[in-house]
Amino acid sequence: MSGISVGGRRRAAWFLIFWTVVGAASYVLGVRFALGQRAEESVLEAAQFTTDPPPPLNLVSIPTVVIALVIVGIIAWVSHGFKRAVVLTTVPALAILASQLLKLRLLTRPELFELDAVNTFPSGHMTVFAAITAALVWAVPSRLRAFVSLLGAALVALVGWQLLAYGWHRPSDVYGGVALAMVAFAFAALLRPATSRGTAVLGASTSVGLAIIGWVMVGAAVVLVWIAVTSDNSGLMLAAGEFGGVAAAALAMRSMLLLGSGRA
């Protein structure tokens, strides 16, 4: 086994564990605990619900998802070959299907206080954007990967922000959707480490930048939660959830950048 394969699988195993923990913790803390349920209900109370959100949130439909996957597949085929194209259309499709299976069939939301609410974990919309954006990071030519990772982090963060601001989902749903997409790609990389034809321009700098943004946002979210709890401020709880979504987006795209950094 080559050194690239060994190193790639170790990195994939680390990210698989990390994102599995993120997803499981989001479900347990946000869905299965009474305190978490109450905190997330305060987020929904602070949101400005609308059935007609602006793009990109309103772009999700079965036809647009299929079109996006086809475009990603074509880019991957031209840039890296047919096998990469198959992987980058299959993995996000499976993640999207898994989000619906988990939400509608396998996971439950107990009624831990008087509010009767159906399970919305993980967010299907968040999984769609995270999985397709992640696939695009691997699909483009290697030299563009860092640039696409930055744009992808901004897009995923925006969608997570919209999902919370417009009251479509709870924070745990958003984090769970991102985590599910990352678990799917980390598992794929564990089975067969990704290789690259060339290196990403400013890849190391982008990786460091995304890590700084991600962990600073995590810290900001924790501080906002503490202030929100002590002051009983649902608006700050919503802001904390939104900051957490930005953190998840930045760390997710950093994961994809690093998972695809192997050399062919």
The Cα angle at residue 132 between residues 101 and 109, in degrees rounded to 5: 30
- The 3-state DSSP class for residue 40 equals helix
The Cα angle at residue 191 between residues 178 and 68, in degrees rounded to 5: 45
CA 76/CA 81 separation, integer angstroms? 6
Mean pLDDT, the chain, whole residue set = 93
- The 3-state DSSP class for residue 196 equals strand
How many domains are there within the chain?
1
Res 264: pLDDT: 35
- Tokens representing 22 are 């993120």
Residue 137 located in a structural domain: yes
Q: Are 39 and 216 in contact (CB under 8 A)?
A: no
Res 4: pLDDT: 54
Res 218: pLDDT: 98
Supply the range of the domain harboring residue 79. 3-259
Query: Which pLDDT tens digit goes with each residue over 47-85?
Result: 999 999 999 999 999 999 999 999 999 999 999 999 999
Residue 221 located in a structural domain: yes
Res 111: pLDDT: 83
- 2 pLDDT more than 80: no
Query: Which pLDDT tens digit goes with each residue over 238-252?
Result: 999 999 999 999 999
Residue 111 located in a structural domain: yes
Res 199: pLDDT: 80
Residue 250 located in a structural domain: yes
For residue 106, count CB atoms less than 10 angstroms from its CB and return exposed for 0-12, middle for 13-18, buried for 19 or more: exposed
Residue 264 located in a structural domain: no
